[in-house]
């Protein structure tokens, strides 16, 4: 039983680190997306980049809900 609790604790720690990493990636992509819009980059590129950001956000919320 104690070993199982340790494993669960390790999983939570791993999820916390992954959540933090995803959060950082999301912030960086949001910053870059804003720059792209201001620079008037090709709309197709902006759309693709925005979709990548959406996927990161979706993954973040999935991990966050698994944590509960």
Confidence at residue 17, expressed as pLDDT on a 0 to 100 scale:
87
Name the 3-class secondary structure at 2: helix
| 53-65: average pLDDT | 92
Confidence at residue 68, expressed as pLDDT on a 0 to 100 scale:
63
Judge contact between 63 and 22, C-beta under 8 A.
Answer: yes
- Residues 51 and 53: their CA atoms lie apart, in Å, by 5
Confidence at residue 66, expressed as pLDDT on a 0 to 100 scale:
80
Confidence at residue 46, expressed as pLDDT on a 0 to 100 scale:
92
Write out pLDDT tens, residues 30-49.
999 999 999 988 999 999 99
Confidence at residue 51, expressed as pLDDT on a 0 to 100 scale:
95
């Amino acid at each position: 039983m104690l070993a199982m609790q340790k494993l669960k604790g390790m999983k939570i720690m791993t999820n916390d680190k992954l959540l933090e990493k995803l959060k950082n990636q999301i912030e960086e992509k949001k910053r870059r997306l804003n720059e792209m819009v201001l620079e008037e980059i090709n709309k197709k590129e902006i759309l693709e980049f925005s979709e990548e950001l959406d996927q990161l956000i979706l993954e973040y919320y999935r991990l966050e809900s698994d944590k509960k």
